[in-house]
Chains A and B, each alone.
Chain A
Amino acid sequence: MSQPLSDDANSSTPRDPAPSSTSTLKAIIHHSRLNNTNLNFSTSVEGPISITQLFIRRSRLSTTIEALPPSPPLLSQHGTGYDLTNSVFSPDGRNFQVEYAVKAVENGGTAIGIRCKDGVVLALEKLVTSKLLKPNANKRISTIDRNMGVVSSGLLPDARHFVSRSREEAASWRQMYKAPIPVSALADRMGQYTQAYTLFSSVRPFGVTSIIAGWDSEAEVGVDGQVGSGPSIGAGGKQDIKKKGGPYLYMIEPSGMYWAYYGAATGKGRQSAKSELEKLDLAAGELSLEQGIKEAARIIYVAHEDSKDKEFELEMCWVSSLAGPTKGRFEEVPKDLREEAEKLAKKAIEGDDDEDEEKMET
């Protein structure tokens, strides 16, 4: 059998001892690319190569391994194979597939969440990809149960699957406990679910970072289907305990990592959105829901500044306390409120521009 490779003259460094046939094949291909030459298998088969043929050829190659000349060391981590499969650790302990999923998220429209004193706001920069799309249709913020919502950026179908699973989790919690799922429990379950998609090579990680917002009811919620109030005194009589309830905001990343946040941002404009969120001093818990709406609209507009040439649509949903405007339910922000917030946002941005111009002039 003839020598299968023709280029070997430039190689001088010694090879690793006893490489496997697979890595050898890759190394050969890599090597030949580096040297800008063609692999020239001297076989009699013409046309496209089937898998079986490849195996045969590889086994033939492996018989000639001993005869192969040394090849140069591999330069970068890419091409070493650690990024080709989900659930595989690289030598420095990373899962590259998850990091690539994060790249998909970073291409998506900006999504933010703001936890206010008396509720939570979710907002999304929905990029308009075609003039043929109907305005205010194709909603991207979804309701979970009645008191929670999810917004995500990244791959839309992945987001839909995430939402669908969240709804199943909320429904199964009700089935089991006859009560609504607490936001923290939903975040935990969805975190677990997302993380499971980093454990197997047969699946790919989620291409979305999702923000979950909700309000746990501050009122005593009866058991689903409950009739009557039970004994008013004595054994089984209820004590009047004030439930805490309140606003919650979580963000879940493709790795399955999640934290609770005062303000969360993801997608293309996350950097500028985050720095705007930090200015709000949300930890003080002073920002009202109405104010939160306005800030959310402004932040989406600020985050959009970098890709100004593209059209976008603002989508906003909110949830408040029982005493608040949504009565503990997760809903779309009413049109007039949203438009007012948008008007203020545009004004704020133009104001910034004016200031900049003034500075330029002076």
Chain B
Amino acid sequence: MDCHPEVWGRPRYEIYGDYDHSHLHTSGPMQHTQQPIVTGTSVIAVKFKDGVVIAADNLASYGSLARFTDVKRLRKFNSQSVIGFGGDVSDMQYLDRTLGSLDTNENYSNSDQPLHARNLHTYLSKVMYARRSKFDPLWNAILVAGLDGEDMPFLASVDLLGTKFSSPTLATGFGAHLAVPILRRTVPDEEAVQQTTKDQAVELVKESMKVLFYRDARSLDNYSIAVITKESGVELKENEKLENQSWAFADQIRGYGTQVN
């Protein structure tokens, strides 16, 4: 038997001449991640006077297939920060491991001051920007919520391009279009943050999650929500269900225009 697999099934060279091996070169130029595969949708967050509320649903979609329904996209980093990931799930797993080893290595230095949310956001933004500059981005949109070095509420975003910004209310993906306008009605600026209580903020986020479930075709009614305050640290609930959905009106709707019943 011929020991060269590349000539199996090919015309015999003693009859047809040498096979053109350039057809076998499939490598071409180096290719990096071109698109996300398994993805998570929006992450939304809002600051209130004592802390931050952040939420994301538990779905990881494979295109339009709602493939994985128990994927927790909020990651507690330490007692004062939570990171919410949107975008590619494998890149999220990579970042989670990277942050884990960062945490371990920080612990070695014996410092009394653990990394806070602002540190994490800076670190992540540098990782994201470095990767996009290598044309090999981590395909995520990330919100970092928690407390900064002065124990004040901190909320900021960074995405696959390394773009970062901060605001009293933030959302990634679909949420940027749908949730932010709702959140901004109550919390338009830093002043309003001081007027907002924890309960109000939680209610607001839950309401926005509901709107997103109504309107975003890549969303799910199971979600995770975390509240970060100085007093009680991170309170993370990972199996919440949307409540009080309004579908009763659908009975009244008939046809697409002229149909009466």
Show the binding face of A for B, using Cβ within 8 Å.
139, 142-143, 145-146, 167, 171, 174, 178, 224-229
Q: Are A227 and B104 in contact (CB under 8 A)?
A: no
> Is B149 at the interface (CB under 8 A from chain A)?
no
What residues on B are CB-neighbors of A224 within 8 Å? 96-97, 100
| Closest Cβ neighbor of B103 among chain A residues | A146
What residues on B are CB-neighbors of A142 within 8 Å? 108
CB distance from A330 to the nearest CB of B (A): 9
What residues on B are CB-neighbors of A178 within 8 Å? 97
User: How far is A178 from B93 in the complex, measured between Cα atoms in Å?
Assistant: 11
Q: Which of B60, B94, B108 has the most CB of A within 10 A?
A: B108
CB distance from B106 to the nearest CB of A (A): 11
Q: Which are the 4 A-B pairs with shortest beta-carbon distances?
A: A225-B93, A225-B96, A225-B97, A228-B71
User: How far is A143 from B104 in the complex, measured between Cα atoms in Å?
Assistant: 9
Q: Are B73 and A227 in contact (CB under 8 A)?
A: yes
In the complex, given contacts A143-B107, A174-B100, A227-B93, what are 11 additional A-B residue pairs having Cβ atoms less than 8 angstroms apart? A146-B104, A146-B107, A171-B104, A174-B97, A174-B101, A178-B97, A224-B97, A227-B92, A228-B60, A228-B68, A228-B70
CB distance from A144 to the nearest CB of B (A): 9
Q: Are B104 and A145 in contact (CB under 8 A)?
A: yes
Size class of B's contact patch? 10 to 19
Q: Are B93 and A167 in contact (CB under 8 A)?
A: no
Show the binding face of B for A, using Cβ within 8 Å.
60, 68, 70-73, 89, 92-94, 96-97, 100-101, 104, 107-108, 110
What residues on B are CB-neighbors of A145 within 8 Å? 104
Q: Are B108 and A227 in contact (CB under 8 A)?
A: no
| Closest Cβ neighbor of B89 among chain A residues | A227
What residues on A are CB-neighbors of B68 within 8 Å? 227-228
Q: List 27 A-B contacts (CB under 8 A).
A: A142-B108, A145-B104, A146-B104, A171-B101, A174-B97, A174-B100, A174-B101, A224-B96, A224-B97, A224-B100, A225-B92, A225-B94, A225-B96, A225-B97, A225-B100, A226-B93, A227-B71, A227-B73, A227-B92, A227-B93, A227-B96, A228-B60, A228-B68, A228-B70, A228-B71, A228-B72, A229-B70
| Closest Cβ neighbor of A227 among chain B residues | B71
User: How far is A227 from B68 in the complex, measured between Cα atoms in Å?
Assistant: 10
User: How far is A104 from B96 in the complex, measured between Cα atoms in Å?
Assistant: 43
- Contact partner of B72 (CB less than 8 A), chosen from A143, A167, A171, A227, is A227
What residues on B are CB-neighbors of A167 within 8 Å? 108
CB distance from A316 to the nearest CB of B (A): 15
User: How far is A64 from B210 in the complex, measured between Cα atoms in Å?
Assistant: 102
What residues on A are CB-neighbors of B100 within 8 Å? 174, 224-225
Q: Are A139 and B110 in contact (CB under 8 A)?
A: yes
